Amino acid sequence: MFTGIIEELGTVLSRDGGRLRIAATTVLEDAKIGDSTAVNGVCLTVVGTGDGWWEADVSDETYARSTLGELSAGDPVNLERPVRMSDRLGGHLVQGHVDAVGEVVTPVPALRVRTDPGLTRYLVEKGSVTVDGVSLTVVDALDDGFTVAVIPHTSAVTTLGHKRPGDRVNLEVDVMAKYVEKLMGADRG
C-alpha cells in the first residue's frame, strides 16, 4: 500500500527484457530483496540492489497494462516506498495497481487527462486519483477524463512537470469507489 506522495525522482538505467534497473538513493535506504516499491504508480518487487541502483522483474502483463514498457535508459520515474502503519497518510490509499493508461490533453498546472469513459464513473469532484503514482485531487470529473491542479512543488519533484499533450500516464482510481460499486451491485443482484 502506498500514499501517492512521491519520495524521489529516480532514473531508468536499463531495461533488459523483463528486468528494469533504476538509479535511486532515498528508496534504497532500507530496501531489501522482496520489498515493494512503486515506479510511476506501479507496484514492483525489489529483486536486486547495488550501489545507487535497484532492480525489478516486470511481467509482460504489467508492461502491457502500464506505461513501463515505454521506458528507456535515462527516463525519469516517480518512486515511492510502501507506507508503514506508523507513517502519516499524506495522500490517499494507493495500491500500485494501474487501472488504465490515460493521455495528457493539457499539461500542468491545470493537468487534463483523457481516459476510458468506463473509468470515469469512479471519479468525482474533490475525490482522489493517482497519475503516474502521484496522489492528486480531482478538480473536474469529465465524460472522457478529468482535470487536476498541480502545484509548482509537485510539478518540480515528479515527472508530471515534464508531461506534454499526447504523453501517456498510469492511472489508478480510488479503490474504495470500486468496492462500493461492487457491494451496491451485490444488493441489486
Q: Letter for the amino acid at 188?
A: R
CA 119 to each of CA 16, 39, 58, 102: distance values in angstroms, whole numbers, following the listed order: 32, 21, 24, 10
Q: Which three cell numbers stand for residue 105?
A: 490533453
Counting DSSP H helices and E strands in the chain, the numbers are 3, 12
- 3-class DSSP string for 52-105: CEEEEECCHHHHHHCCHHHCCCCCEEEEECCCCCCCCCCCCCECCCCCEEEEEE
Do the domains spanning 8-80 and 100-188 agree at the CATH topology level?
A: yes
Architecture of domain 100-188: Beta Barrel (2.40)
Three-state helix/strand/coil letters over 102-143: EEEEECCCEEEEECCCCCHHHCCCCCEEEECCEEEEEEEEEC
Where are the chain's structural domains?
Answer: 8-80, 100-188
pLDDT (0 to 100) of residue 188: 63
- Only one residue has cell 529483486, namely 47
Report the chain (189 residues): mean pLDDT per 10 consecutive residues.
95 96 97 97 98 98 96 98 85 92 98 96 96 97 98 97 98 92 76
* Confidence (pTM): 0.94
- What's the CA gap between 81 and 141, in Å, rounded? 29
Query: What fold, for 8-80?
Result: Elongation Factor Tu (Ef-tu); domain 3 (2.40.30)
